[in-house]
Structure 1
Amino acid sequence: MAQLKEMFRERQYKLTSQRQIVLQAFLDHQGEHLSAEDVHNILRDQSSEIGLATVYRTLELLSDLSVLQKMDFGDGRSRYEINEDSTSHHHHHLICLSCGKVREFEDDLLDALESAVARKSNFAVVDHQLKFYGYCQECQKKSET
């Protein structure tokens, strides 16, 4: 939190208590891909009085500041997760078309393809994202019964 306060100060923003509460929701739910509604529900369950509009504004600000990574999984809702700069590429996602659950996988099988595309097109690739859509193990089991 101290690093975030400093980053906000450097960019001339205040790390208000409401922004800290929203950010804490992500720290408490690491590895999850939360929408504004998810964050609002988490905060409401914790008896927080932060409104949904404030959550939306805070998520957009945190995304603009690269504290959170904003993602679109094609379900009409933006999702967010803590932006970790420790990896050279973003992890990839498995998205269940039935329950909407999102899982991550770390294997980066596209390095060779990325290099080939860069070489053939004379294009400096800096990143890529990969999303697989299908059915999670639980939903597969449900459909079998």
Structure 2
Amino acid sequence: MESSDLRNAGLKVTLPRIKILEMLENSDARHLSAEDIYRRLIEMNEDVGLATVYRVLTQFEAAGLVRRHNFEGGHAVFELERGPHHDHMVCLDSGKVIEFVSEEIEEIQQRIAAKHGYDVEEHSLVLYVRPKNRVAGKVGKG
């Protein structure tokens, strides 16, 4: 995304907006909280307040530039709106967010909605997972 994307979304091009947009684009993690963005900007010696980060992210969301996710047990995270639909898995142990696409799941959801007389306009699917190899609540016999 570029500053022209900000203008096209009806937003004025400001330094904080550009910095936050760059942070979302160039991060190794696709899902960042406002606090994550704020901390990274501070580490880069950028003079941006946490309230500004929240305000800009809210403006980006309203303009359709980012999507907000409120995964269970956590705070809101944001990702750039990059087009094609995808779903998420959230690891309950590490908090890692994994994106995936499944045409099969999409078709099943469409069939279920149609069976009940509806068309799917939008949806969000989040699977909360744990690693298969995890030893859950290891309890030994004494």
Quickly name the TM-score band, shorter chain normalised.
0.7 to 0.9
Give the Å deviation of 1:121.
2.2
Q: CA RMSD in A?
A: 2.2
TM-score, length basis structure 1? 0.82
Q: Superposed, which structure 2 residues align to 1:89-100 within 5 Å?
A: 90-100=85-95
Match of 1:70 among 68, 71, 86: 68
Match of 1:4 in 2: 5
Alpha-carbon contact 1:92-1:104 (below 8 Å) kept:
yes
Q: TM-score, length-normalised on structure 2?
A: 0.84
2:114 maps to a residue whose letter is R
Give the aligned length.
136
| Structure 1 residue ranges, 4+ long, deviating more than 6 angstroms after superposition | none
Q: What is the Cα deviation at residue 44 of structure 1? A: 1.0
Gaps of 5+ in 2: none
SS at match of 1:110: helix
Per-residue deviation at 1:2?
Answer: 4.2
In 2: Cα distance, 1:39 partner to 1:140 partner: 31
What is the SS of the residue equivalent to 1:24?
Answer: helix
How far did 1:136 drift? 4.2
- Map residues 14-25 of structure 1 onto 2, 5 A cutoff: 14-25=12-23
Residue from 33, 36, 42 that aligns with 2:34? 36
Percent pairwise identity: 28
Distance 1:45 1:140, change over 3 A: farther
Match of 2:54 among 39, 46, 56: 56
Q: Structure 1: which 5+ runs fail to align?
A: none
